[in-house]
Structure 1
C-alpha cells in the first residue's frame, strides 16, 4: 500500500453546547493546525445561541469542517418526538420551520464546509466523508428532514449512499476520514464504551447501524477508513463519572475518536479555565490523537490536574 505520508495536524472540537468563546476563535485561527473539524451540537437551549456560535466559528481563519448534530436546526418539540418515538407524521407540523432554521445556520457558518452525505478532498492525500447528519442514535432520526434534503429514508438507503460516495477514492493514494455526529455501532455496549449508552439501566450499544455496517463492509473490501470522528455520547458518563468514557479507540487499523467532552470549557478548584479539543495527527503515514486542554486560553501547561490526566488516558488500543 502506497500512502501519501505528508504530516497533517488537525484540531477536532467535540459537541460545543454553548461552550465556545472568542478565546477559541482566536486560538485556532493563530494555531499551526491545518484545519479544524467540528462534531456538531453547537448551541444550548437559549434561542439564537446556535447561530451566534456558528458566526464565531465562521471567523476561524482556517479551513473548517462540520457535521450538524441533533441540536442544530431542530426544535425542542422535534427532539421530544425523537426521544419518545412519536409518529413521524407529527413532524410535518414543524418541517417548514426546520428548513428555515437549516438555511439560516448554513448562512451563519459562512465558508465552513458542511459535511452531510458528501465527500471533500482536503489535499495531501486526504478525503473527508460526511455521514448522516442530525443523528442522535437509537433509530433513523428526523426522517422527514433527511428524506426531503437528501432523498434518504432508511438505514439501508443511508449506507448505500455512503458506499456510492467513496467509489472514486483511490485508497492507495488517499486516507479516508469519516465525520459523523453519532458514532458507529459495533464498538461496545457498556456505559464506558466509546459510544455505549449511559442513560439506561441495561446500557447497550448506541452507535448508528448504517455507519457501523458501512465501515465493516468497506473495511472487508480493503477500503478501510483511517479515522472515524464523532461525538454525541458525552464523556461524562452518568454511570462511571470517576472513570468517564473511553474517547479514543484503535482497532484493526482504524482510529475512532469521540471528541464530545461536555462541557468543553470548565474550571478547576483553583479557578483556572480549561478549553478542551483533540489534536489529530498524521506522522509518517500513521494517524494518532491526543486530548488537549488549554489553560486560561493558552497551550496546556504541565503537570495537568489529576482528573484531566485521567481523562486523557481513557483510551483503548486493540491492534
Structure 2
C-alpha cells in the first residue's frame, strides 16, 4: 500500500471509529496578524481541521491568499473588516484603491472557493460531518445593516431571508452532524457587557448577537441535525469598559451545544526574545465536544500556556 493510501485509511479509521478525538483549531479575528509560522504551528499541533471566523484585515487580499493555501482541511467565514471598503457608503469613500478596477470582496471569495461557508456548507466525508456558515460579513446586532450590499450580492433583504439562506445550506448537507461558524455569534447568549456577545461600549449592555443566526440554529435542530459546536469571533475577549476580567468566551446550551467565542485579539504577541501566537482548540469525539482550550505557542511551537475552558 502507498503512503498516501495509509494516510487515507488512518483518516477514515479516525472518522468511523472515533477512537481518537478530532482535533479542531479555531482561529479568531486575525486583524492582519498571520505569518508563515502560524501554519507551521498548526502542523506541529497536529490538528485535523481549522476553522477561521473572519476579520483577516481591511480587505487584506494577501493574508486571505495565505489562508487559502493552507494544506490542512479548513472552513472560513469572512467578517465585517473583510468588506470594510465595500459594504457601506463611508467605507467606499475611504477605499485606498480604485473600486472601479478592483473588487476585493470578490477576490477574497474567489481565493477561498468552497472553503468559504458564509450562507453555504462544506461536507467533510473524512470526518463524517459538515460545516455550515452563518451570514458572512456580519457587523452584529439587531439592526439590518448594509442593506444594499446584502441585496446586491446575495439577494437577501432582511434577517428572515438571511435565516432562510442559512437553513437551506444546512438542509443540503450530507451529514446530520453540523458544526456552525459565524463571524459574529447568535443572540441569546446574554445581554451583559461581559457576556459572549454583550455590548461593552456605550451605552453599556444589550445583546449584540445576530438574530438570524439564532433562528437558523433552532430551525436546523428541528430538522434533526446535531450541532455539537457553534463558534464565532467579532466580540473581542478583551473588554473595553473594564480590565479586571475578560469576556465570557464559552457556554453550553441545554441541547449540549458548545458555543465558543474565539476572538482573542491580538492573537500574536512579539517580545525581544520570542513570539507567541494563540489558537482555540476543540476536541470532538463521537460527535460531541469533549474538551475546549485556549493555547499560546512560542516560536519553537511549544505550547507554553493552555487554559482548559471546557
* TM-score bucket of the superposed structures, by smaller chain: 0.7 to 0.9
Kept in 2, the 8 Å contact 1:66–1:112? The answer is no
The alignment covers a number of residue pairs equal to 287
**Is residue 2:263 matched to residue 1:260?**
yes
Distance 1:286 1:176 in 2: 11
Q: Does the C-alpha gap of structure 1 residues 97 and 26 become closer, same or farther in structure 2, counting only changes over 3 Å?
A: farther
Paired position in structure 2 for 1:59 = 69
Q: Does the C-alpha gap of structure 1 residues 283 and 190 become closer, same or farther in structure 2, counting only changes over 3 Å?
A: same
Kept in 2, the 8 Å contact 1:12–1:278? The answer is yes
Q: Does the C-alpha gap of structure 1 residues 8 and 206 become closer, same or farther in structure 2, counting only changes over 3 Å?
A: same
SS at match of 2:162: helix
4+ aligned runs moved over 6 Å, structure 1: none
Mean CA deviation greater in 56-65 or 253-262: 56-65
Q: Which residue of 126, 132, 138 corresponds with 2:135? A: 132
Alignment root-mean-square deviation, CA: 3.0
Paired position in structure 2 for 1:158 = 162
Q: Does the C-alpha gap of structure 1 residues 98 and 284 become closer, same or farther in structure 2, counting only changes over 3 Å?
A: farther
**Is residue 2:153 matched to residue 1:149?**
yes
SS at match of 2:303: coil
Q: Does the C-alpha gap of structure 1 residues 143 and 18 become closer, same or farther in structure 2, counting only changes over 3 Å?
A: same
SS at match of 2:171: coil
CA shift, 1:163, in A, is 2.1
Cα deviation digits, residues 83-129 of structure 1 (max 9, x gap): xxxxxxx9xxx9x659811122234x356711111111112221100
SS at match of 1:117: coil
Distance 1:76 1:167 in 2: 30
Cα deviation digits, residues 222-277 of structure 1 (max 9, x gap): 53421111100001011232211111111221111111111001247x85422011
Q: Does the C-alpha gap of structure 1 residues 72 and 193 become closer, same or farther in structure 2, counting only changes over 3 Å?
A: same
The two structures have a TM-score, normalised by structure 2, of 0.82
SS at match of 1:11: strand
Mean CA deviation greater in 211-220 or 285-294: 211-220
Paired position in structure 1 for 2:124 = 122
Q: What runs of 5+ residues in structure 2 fail to find an aligned partner?
A: 1-14
Paired position in structure 1 for 2:23 = 9
Q: Does the C-alpha gap of structure 1 residues 218 and 16 become closer, same or farther in structure 2, counting only changes over 3 Å?
A: same
Q: Does the C-alpha gap of structure 1 residues 186 and 199 become closer, same or farther in structure 2, counting only changes over 3 Å?
A: same
Q: What runs of 5+ residues in structure 1 fail to find an aligned partner?
A: 83-89
